[in-house]
Amino acid sequence: MEIARHWRLQRHRYALVGEVCNHCGVKIFPARDVCPECNAPAKTPYTFSGKGEVYSYSTVHHPPEGFEHFAPYVVALVRLVEGPLVAAQLTDVEGEKIEIGMPVEMVTRKLRDDGSKGTIVYGYKFRPVIGGRTSLGAGEG
């Protein structure tokens, strides 16, 4: 049981919330409170757009404990449009040809499911962009 750890991270995981460095403007994910570029304190929350592209990927056939339900699944390094490189699962990709450079968007899905008695952990994954339409909304801030 890692309830406390998941609870601390859920804000970042549900909506891809990182930080922005007010000194040099770099966007940071995951949050680390210190800018990796200029070493200035960086504690201002920043919600990423969720748009990015596949930088690299691989398929997991032998999953670690807690992920058996989803195997085989694809993990990827996603380059967010704001800059950071994020490791995450790709989802909704069965039957899709995955390519480096493929545009993807963030969705919140089940990350792990600790059986019928435990809690469900939710967080970000990425899927191929639907319909090629871009998001114009301000609702996600």
Partner 1 sequence: MEIMKPQRDVGIVGYGAYVPRYRLRGTEIKRMWEGEQGCTPPVKEKAVPGLDEDVATMSLEAARNALKRAAIDPSRIRAVWVGSESHPYAVKPTSTIVAEAIGAVPHTLAADWQFACKAGTEAMQAALGMVGSGMAEYALALGMDTAQGRPRDALEYTAGAGGAAFLVGPAEESLAVFEGSTSYVTDTADFWRRQHEHYPAHAGRFTGEPGYFRHVLAAASEIMTALGRKPADYAHVIFHQPNTKFPRKAGRELGFKREQLDAGLLVNDIGNTYAGAAMIGLTSVLDVAHPGERVLMVSFGSGAGSDAFDLRVTDAITGRRERALSTRDYVARRHELDYATYARHREKIRME
**Site residues, partner 1 (CB under 8 A):** 10-11, 14-15, 47, 69-70, 89, 91-92, 94-95, 107-111, 120, 122, 125, 130-131, 133, 135-141
Tokens 């969705």 label which residue?
A: 107
Minimum CB–partner distance for residue 132 and partner 1 (Å): 10
Minimum CB–partner distance for residue 55 and partner 1 (Å): 22
HSE-CB at 10 with a 13 A cutoff on CA atoms is 11
Q: Toward partner 1, which CB reaches closer, 41 or 45?
A: 45
Minimum CB–partner distance for residue 36 and partner 1 (Å): 26
Q: Toward partner 1, which CB reaches closer, 29 or 70?
A: 70
The Cα 68–Cα 36 span in angstroms is 34
**Which residues have CB under 8 Å from 46's CB, separation 6+?**
17, 18, 19, 20, 27, 28, 82
Sign for the pseudo-dihedral over CA of 124, 126, 130, 136: positive
Minimum CB–partner distance for residue 14 and partner 1 (Å): 4
Q: Cα torsion for 68, 74, 77, 82, to the nearest 10°?
A: -100
Q: Toward partner 1, which CB reaches closer, 39 or 134?
A: 134
Q: Toward partner 1, which CB reaches closer, 34 or 129?
A: 129
